Amino acid sequence: MERNPNCKSSCPTQDHTNEADCWRENMPMFVGVSPSKYGWDQTKVKKDERELASYYSAVRQGIEPRSTQQKDIDAAVKLSNEAGKAFDGTTLKFKE
């Protein structure tokens, strides 16, 4: 394949009309990270992963939190522990 002067040497297609298009299409995608002054920040991703893990843990115990937000999960687990029954956040009652 002949090298296109508008493309980087690592471009797999070598068919871009200008250098900007080549860079844009070959830019690595960083899913779930946000740019910060210290580089790429995964704080939000890690927070979401912790909340989802906590939610799934509660569901495995039979508890249904109102949402996947940590405050709702903690409230449902606390209510369930105090009552000795699993809390159902959709009906706002305890499961029998």
pTM beyond 0.85: the answer is no
3-state SS, residue 94: strand
3-state SS, residue 35: strand
Cα 3 to Cα 6: distance, rounded to the nearest angstrom: 9
pLDDT band with cut points at 50, 70 and 90 for residue 34? low
For residue range 55-78, what is the model confidence (pLDDT) as tens digits?
999 999 999 999 999 999 999 999
3-state SS, residue 8: coil
